[in-house]
Amino acid sequence: MFAILLIVVPNAGAQSLKPEAQKSRISVPDTAPLRDGDRALRSGDFDDAAKSYAVAALRSPNDPVLRLLAGVALTTTNRADTAATQFKVACRLTDDDLLCSLLLQGALAQAGKTGEAQTVYADAVRRYAKPTGGLDSAASVKRLRAALVAAPES
């Protein structure tokens, strides 16, 4: 998620590149919105956290963890409809991961969409029920652990 990309110029000696040219060849992802969201969340400013995470999600639209962060922050600011949109995208990106589905179900219930919330929950139970009872959250935990390694502050 935070890889640094270097463009290699074949047959170019190091002396042929000025420091300004070398810097222009390095592309670093903008992680400021994620850091700003984390900082705002830790300080209890959920409005700013929601805005920052939404910007981060727009910049990396295929990152389900950013969608979850944005959705959680939006839910805490009573914007459940908007949070549900973020959770729906996260569900699509993760093939209806259990955690994404349960967060979506909660946002839908908070938004007063009880029927839709019940359907999401029933689908999650159907997909993730263990034969011995309970739900299998192994894939969700694995995804969250990987995200924590990539972005330990979030």
CA 19 to chain centre: 35
| Cα–Cα distance for residue pair 141/91, rounded to 1 Å | 15
Neighbours of 37 (CB within 10 A): 28
Comparing CA positions, the residue from 86, 84, 39, 41 lying closest to residue 60 is 86
| Cα–Cα distance for residue pair 39/71, rounded to 1 Å | 16
pLDDT in tens, the chain (154 residues): 333 222 233 333 334 334 444 444 444 457 889 999 999 989 999 999 999 999 999 999 999 999 999 999 999 999 999 999 999 999 999 999 999 999 999 999 999 999 999 999 999 999 888 888 888 888 777 877 877 776 656 5
